A = this chain, B = another copy of it.
Amino acid sequence: MISEQDINAAHERIKPFIHRTPVLQSNYINQLAECEIFFKCENFQKVGAFKARGAMNAALQIPKDVLQNGIATHSSGNHAQAIARAASILKVPSFIVMPKTAPLIKKNGVLGYGGKIFECEPTLQAREETLAQVILKTKATEIHPFNNEAVIAGQATACKELLEDVKTLEVVMAPVGGGGLLSGTALAVHYLNPSIDVIAGEPSGADDAYRSLISGKIELSQSNTIADGLLTNLGTLTFPIIQKHVKEVICVSDDEIIQALQLVWEKLKIIIEPSCAVPLAALLKEKEKFKKKKVGIILTGGNVDLAKLVPYFK
């Protein structure tokens, strides 16, 4: 069970290694959405995503003698860079299992921090099997991208900062993939201001969290979306937290995701990745639910292969 104290301790622990990211607003988007949106810009975070928080919090708690063997993970991208960066700061090796299909910019990010990449098929099974082999060989410590309490507590610090900076929020939104950010966000809200509703956005092409909340068990993701950061299923740690503390999951199509992405690019003048546009797409799709409210949205990351996105722009 992750406590308020765990989240506070995570924040103090990682502060020297992360940015306190800004909160931006757009009059144009507010008028369009008919509510007041506060965008927490984790696309400006170290490694270009909130993942720098959880990875650093987990790595800093590994005992020194074990840490020497390095840290390892499987990730479609941003967590991979975050682990490679944490290892590079702590001066230990990192071993990263990535699906072949991961964006080039994310692979280059890992290599830039001196991480060693092991490519595999883009399935959860292939990722887990390859990682098991790597760990057997290296004795590195696994830091799971989301199913890890230290990672969840670390991700919670993004929402903690948002609630500190904007005191009047009535809703907080985050996307959901494996649920590390969403469960951390839900816990931060639960401890700091439980009157706030936590609502998730999820791609219709990977709507496993939506289905899991209906069925009451962890459903598999069909992984058919442009939002490449949200392809994974929920984890055994993240699912119960989401079940308890998240009010609703709203699903959106890839077209809706791209529209929201373009809106943020054009009006806020900032680069976000598709996964990151999902909550705004969800808000715009079900506008009535948010009318006149003060809504915090965590913009999760800004690592995009521009060339890959290009065919979607109209």
A-side residues, CB < 8 A to B, are: 43-44, 48, 105, 262, 265-266, 269-272, 302-304, 306-307, 310, 313-314
Contacts and interface: CB of A to CB of B under 8 A. Distances in A.
Nearest to A22: B22
Nearest to A266: B105
Given A262-B306, A306-B262, A48 B269 contact: yes
A155 to B, nearest CB: 19
Contacts of A271: 265-266, 269-271
B313 A265 contact: no
Contact of A270 (B262, B269, B303): B269
What 7 pairs across the A-B complex have the smallest Cβ distances?
A: A269-B302, A269-B271, A310-B310, A306-B313, A43-B269, A307-B313, A310-B313
Nearest to A310: B310
Nearest to A105: B266
21 contacts: A43-B269, A48-B269, A105-B266, A262-B306, A265-B271, A265-B306, A266-B271, A266-B303, A266-B304, A266-B306, A269-B270, A269-B271, A269-B272, A269-B302, A270-B271, A271-B271, A306-B313, A307-B313, A307-B314, A310-B310, A310-B313
A262 B309 CA distance: 13
A168 to B, nearest CB: 22
Contacts of A304: 266
Nearest to A303: B266
A199 to B, nearest CB: 25
A302 B264 CA distance: 12
Contacts of A303: 266
